[in-house]
Every structure is written in C-alpha cells, then in structure tokens.
Amino acid sequence: MDNSKIARPRLERMLNGMPLKMQNKVTQVLENISLVAEIRDPKVGISMLPSAYRGLWQKKGKSEDGVLMKSGHPVHFDLNYGSDFPEMYDLYRRAVANQWDGEWQLDWSTQVDPMNPEVPILGSTPFIPFDDLEAEGIKLSAREKQELTYHFSAWMLSQFMHGEQGALYASAQCTESVKWVDAKLYGATQVMDEGRHLEVFLRYLETKLERMYKVNDNLFVIIDDLLTDSRWDIKFLGMQIMVEGLALGAFSTMYNQTGEPLLKNLLRYVIQDEARHVHYGVLALREHFTKNLSGTELREREDWAFEVAMLMRNRFFAHEIYDEWFAHKLSRATWNRLMSESPAMTKFRSIMFQRLVPNLQYIGLLSPRMESYYEKAGLMAYVGGKNASELTEQDLLRDNDKLAEQAMKDARNAA
Ligand SMILES: [Fe+2]
Ligand SMILES: [Fe+2]
C-alpha cells in the first residue's frame, strides 16, 4: 500500500495549523527530501545528491553571477581520422547546410506587446488555472490575469534560455568525449546551434518581453548533474535525449499555440536544429548501448533514464512565479497541486513523453524489465510512436493537439 496516501492527510492537518510562511518552509524541505526519496534506485539517488544539494539547499542557481561546475570528463583525441560513422557524417553535412543567422533571418523590428490578449505569447490553453485559484479564494482582475500570463511566458522562455546554456556546455563536452570523429564534426555544429539558441532566446527576453527569471531549482539540478557527471554517455542521454526531447515537445507545442509571429518564427528555426540534435543522440547511443555496454552498465542507464523521466514529469511547478505572486496568500502545496493539474501542463507532459518514450525504446533502454515501471507510470501508451530518426520536420511542426489528446486519454486509462 502507498504510505504517502496515508501520511498526506495527517501532514496537511499539521501544516494547516502553522502560519503560511512556516507551512511553505516545511513543504519546501519535504519537496527537496522527496526529490531524492522518490528515486527507486539508490545508485541514481546517490549520483544525484551533490547536484541536489547545490541546487535545492545551497540555491546555487539563484546566485548573482555564475556557478563553477567541475566536469572531469575524459577528452578523446582521435588519431585515426577515418570515416567512422557515415550516418553521423550525413547529419553533419545537413547541419552545415542549414545554419541560420538569427540577426538577419528573424524580424526583430516586430512590435511585441505581452499585455495584449489578442496576440497571446503562449497560446490559448491556460497554464495558470485561474478558476482553481478562484476556488482557493484568489480572485484576479482581467488585467492581473493578463499580467500573470505575461510573467509566466517570461518564466517559461527564461527556462528555455537556461536550458540552452546547459545544452551549449553539454554539447561542447560531448564533442570532446565522443570517440567517433564524424560525431565530433557533427558536435561542433551543435555547439554553434546552441550558442545561437541562447542568443535568440536571450534577445527575445531582453528586448521584447523585457523580463527574465532565474533558473528553476529543479532544472538547475538536472543541468548540474549532467555537466558534472564524467560519463559521456550519461551526458548524452541526459542532454540529447531527455532534456532536448523535453525541449522539442515544449517548443513544438508553443510553436503551434503562440499568436506572436516573431516567437513563432524563432521557434520554427530552433525546432529544426533541435530535431537534428535528438537524432544525433539516438544514433550515437543506440550504437553505444547495443554494442559496448555490459548488462550491468545497461541496467544502470535504464534505471537512470526512468528516474530522470519521472523527475521531469513531476517537478516543474514554476515556483519562481509562485514566490512572486502568491507566496503570501496560497500554500506552496496547493500551488503544486494546481500547477500539476492545469490543462496546459498536462498537455505539455503528454507531448514530452510522446517524443521521449519512442526514443528510449529505440536506443534500447525500454527492456522487458522496465516495462512494468513504465506501465505503472502510464507511459506504455507512448510506445511504438516515431523515434527521432524517423521524424520529419513536418511531423515536428504540425499541430499535435489530436495526438496529445489521444495520448493523454491512453495514459489516463493506463494509470
Ligand atoms: Fe538548443
Ligand atoms: Fe539542442
């Protein structure tokens, strides 16, 4: 039986008797403990602890200037120079041919007014559950709702930007560590891509939304964990499959929903690059996982991928927005519940798994041993979808509402 279900009402009663500030402090500590406690596999939990400590307790991601991360990964210097991965070389040629310049190819003269509801930045599916907030006694005026929606858009795009900075360093590290020279050539194009993504998101936030948020603590933990893990294939798995897979789902949802033409165009360019990045990840890892790893090493990767997928599913609650808007009038625990149940968040999660699960299957991390875990988490509904090596640009750009709806239904049935 699930003990957390018994413990929760008692905990809620206990919390309700405290002043709001103290309630929130306790909830935050419990969240942090449960992040590590939720992890089934102690090896994965232990490997993540230093990053969790830096991100959640020391709040390094909220520092003023920057954070030093020690990576310790080996650099593979190639002396062979032969053609060692033709499919990867093709990807490299495609990447070179499709380079773009955000300065000239995006129309930065576009006027953006994030307070104009006629041109929504994030689209019409609400991320903020206004009705549920009202049921909790928080009534916002039409202007406040628009302002909150604007802030949430800036929060979301800020997280994309932080993710791009992480991807820039992870791709540089992978370029050094990977052993195929064709993959190093490809990696060099990805480093350029990620630099450009960082540039365009930063410029959009600075000059169009004129608002920026610090990195979310949980996103910081994942990025810190990847950049400080010395195993190149874990970096690859984390960044190219998990984080990029998540980003690709998020970008394509936003691309289809935004009413703002400059952002739409920016996302279209970024999606084309990201699709190549995930493609690169599945090619390299399928080769490595199916040919080079022992059974124990493979099982460790299977567990790691599942745990990170669960963390990504349960852990993006926009606490920076909560702190700014509601910390004095709504409990953090209630906010977490409202956010995780909001229609747009549910849809985001669904699209993310639609992209992620087929990739995990393709690279060999969804073995029969793991199926029952994925089944329990309601994720087997996504098995059999197209993986990154099969997806076309059109697949990624087309409106995926219907797919998302079906996948959500299947996931609910399975849960
Ligand atoms: Fe990127
Ligand atoms: Fe990327």
pLDDT of residue 11: 58
pLDDT of residue 63: 83
Rounded distance from Cα 133 to ligand 2 centre (Å): 35
Cα angle 295, 299, 304; round to 5: 150
> 252, 400 in Cβ contact below 8 A?
yes
Query: Cα–Cα distance between 143 and 283 in angstroms, integer?
Result: 48
Rounded distance from Cα 26 to ligand 1 centre (Å): 36
Query: Cα–Cα distance between 195 and 282 in angstroms, integer?
Result: 22
Q: Which two tokens stand for residue 293?
A: 């790893």
| Domain made up of 38-414: CATH architecture | Orthogonal Bundle (1.10)
- CB count, 10 Å around CB of 373? 18
Rounded distance from Cα 143 to ligand 1 centre (Å): 33
Q: CB neighbours of 294 closer than 8 A, spacing ≥ 6?
A: none
> 317, 335 in Cβ contact below 8 A?
yes
Nearby residues for ligand 1 (ion, Cβ within 5 Å): 164, 167, 194, 197
H-only helix segments in 17-106 = 20-37, 42-52, 86-97, 102-105
Residue numbers of the chain with a pLDDT score lower than 70: 1-42, 314-315, 399-415
Query: Cα–Cα distance between 150 and 381 in angstroms, integer?
Result: 34
Rounded distance from Cα 110 to ligand 1 centre (Å): 23
Backbone φ and ψ for 116, nearest 5 degrees, come out as -95, 110
pLDDT of residue 405: 58
Rounded distance from Cα 19 to ligand 1 centre (Å): 42
Query: Cα–Cα distance between 199 and 67 in angstroms, integer?
Result: 20
Identity of the residue numbered 76? H
> 71, 344 in Cβ contact below 8 A?
no
How far apart, in Å, are the Cα atoms of 103 and each of 100, 173, 196, 260, 408? 9, 27, 10, 18, 38
Query: Cα–Cα distance between 114 and 189 in angstroms, integer?
Result: 33
pLDDT of residue 1: 36
Rounded distance from Cα 19 to ligand 2 centre (Å): 44
Rounded distance from Cα 372 to ligand 1 centre (Å): 32
- CB count, 10 Å around CB of 176? 15
**Gyration radius of the chain over CA positions:** 21
Q: Which ligand is nearest to the CA of 174?
A: 2
How far apart, in Å, are the Cα atoms of 142 and each of 44, 115, 148, 266? 45, 11, 10, 29
Rounded distance from Cα 193 to ligand 1 centre (Å): 6
Structure confidence by residue, pLDDT tens digits, 83-101:
889 999 999 999 999 999 9
Structure confidence by residue, pLDDT tens digits, 112-148:
999 999 999 987 777 788 889 999 999 999 999 999 9
pLDDT of residue 266: 97
Rounded distance from Cα 6 to ligand 2 centre (Å): 42
Q: Which two tokens stand for residue 89?
A: 């070389």
pLDDT of residue 355: 83
Rounded distance from Cα 270 to ligand 1 centre (Å): 7
Instruction: Name the DSSP letter for residue 82.
Output: S
> 92, 182 in Cβ contact below 8 A?
yes
Identity of the residue numbered 279? H
Instruction: Name the DSSP letter for residue 15.
Output: H
